[in-house]
Amino acid sequence: MKLFKLLKRQSKTYFSPEQTIRHLVDYMPEFYRTHRQFIDCVEFLKNREWELALDSLIELADETEHYFSEDFWLGLADSAEKMNLTDKANYCREQIKRNIEDLKSKTPFGWTTIKFDGTHFQHHISEKLKEEWATERREKDKVQELLTKDGVHLKSHGRSGFLYITNNGKVAEVEFELGTNVLILYFKNLTDWSLPTKQTLTVDEKQKIKSDINNWATNTKNAIEFDD
21/25 Cα distance (integer angstroms): 6
Q: Is residue 186 part of a domain?
A: yes
Estimate the crossing angle of helix 70-82 against helix 86-103, to 10 degrees: 170
Is 29 within a domain? Answer: yes
Distance (Å, whole) CA 13 – CA 182: 51
Residue 79 domain flag: yes
Residue where a domain terminates, one of 127, 158, 183: 127
> Which DSSP helix (H) or strand (E) runs through 221?
none
Q: Decide if 132 is inside a domain.
A: no
Looking at 100, 127, 154, the residue that finishes a domain is 127
The pLDDT of residue 10 is 47
Whether a cis peptide bond, with omega within 30° of 0, leads into 29 is: no
Q: Are residues 113 and 153 in the same domain?
A: no
Quote the radius of gyration of the chain (alpha carbons, Å).
22
Same structural domain, 117 and 143: no
Q: Clarify whether residues 157 and 103 are in a common domain.
A: no
With 0-12 / 13-18 / 19 or more C-beta atoms within 10 angstroms meaning exposed / middle / buried, residue 48 is: exposed
Q: What is the pTM of this model?
A: 0.83
Element (H or E) spanning 62, and its range?
Answer: helix 50-64
Answer yes or no: do 101 and 173 share one domain: no
| Same domain, residue pair 66 and 122 | yes
Question: Which among 65, 135, 139 has a CA at the least distance from the CA of 102?
Answer: 65
Find out whether 167 and 149 touch, Cβ atoms under 8 Å.
no
Q: Are residues 117 and 205 in the same domain?
A: no
Type of residue at 65? E
Task: Give the Cβ contact number of residue 78 at 10 Å.
Answer: 21
Q: What is the pLDDT along the chain (228 residues), one digit of tens a residue?
A: 455 554 554 445 689 999 999 999 999 999 999 999 999 999 999 999 999 999 999 999 999 999 999 999 999 999 999 999 999 999 999 999 999 999 999 999 999 999 999 899 999 999 999 999 999 999 999 999 998 899 999 999 899 999 999 999 999 999 999 999 999 999 999 999 999 999 999 999 999 999 999 999 999 999 999 997
pLDDT of amino acid 228: 74
Give kind and range of the element (H or E) at residue 161. strand 160-167
Residues 17 and 89 in one domain: yes
One domain for residues 18 and 97 = yes
| 22/70 Cα distance (integer angstroms) | 17
Domain stops at, among 69, 97, 127 = 127
Domain count, the chain: 2
116: domain range? 3-127
Cα separation, 32 vs 141, in Å, equals 32
